[in-house]
């Protein structure tokens, strides 16, 4: 089970706006301080998607456009994008995070903790 404190900031920030994928990378790095963190990132991303707490998509003129596909497909799209950027997205990534309604509920519960 993933400790909710690792991804709390990502979901809480997602209450107000879309969140760049950088924030989830930061959460994985912090959660694994001094240890390999990319596996943790993939685990976090997969967990959040499978539990229906977030959607991944990109920003367009009309706003946030979620990527379609199964969890494995979306995870691979994110990983391909991050590889393209040598894992240093600095807001250059196409991948953004949007909370789902369930994600907002979890975020609100995490604020109270």
Stretch 4-17: mean pLDDT, rounded? 92
β-pairing verdict for 96-99 and 54-60? antiparallel
Q: Which tens digit of pLDDT belongs to each residue from 30-84?
A: 888 878 899 999 999 999 999 999 999 999 999 999 999 999 999 999 999 999 9
Q: For residue 66, give its domain range.
A: 4-111
pTM for the predicted model, two decimal places: 0.92
Q: At 53, which helix (H) or strand (E)? A: none
Count how many domains the chain has. 1
pLDDT of residue 113: 60
Contact 99, 53 (CB under 8 A): yes
Residues 55, 11: Cα–Cα separation, whole Å: 11
pLDDT of residue 35: 84
């Amino acid at each position: 089970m993933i400790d909710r404190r690792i991804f709390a900031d990502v979901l809480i920030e997602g209450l107000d706006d879309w969140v760049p994928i950088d924030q989830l990378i930061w959460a994985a790095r912090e959660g694994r301080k001094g240890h390999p963190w990319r596996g943790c990132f993939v685990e976090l991303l997969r967990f959040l998607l499978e539990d229906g707490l977030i959607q991944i998509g990109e920003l367009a003129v009309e706003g946030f456009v979620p990527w379609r596909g199964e969890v494995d497909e979306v995870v691979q799209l994110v990983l391909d994008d991050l590889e393209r950027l040598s894992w240093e997205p600095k807001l250059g990534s196409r991948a953004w995070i949007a909370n789902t309604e369930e994600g907002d509920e979890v975020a609100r519960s995490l604020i109270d903790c």
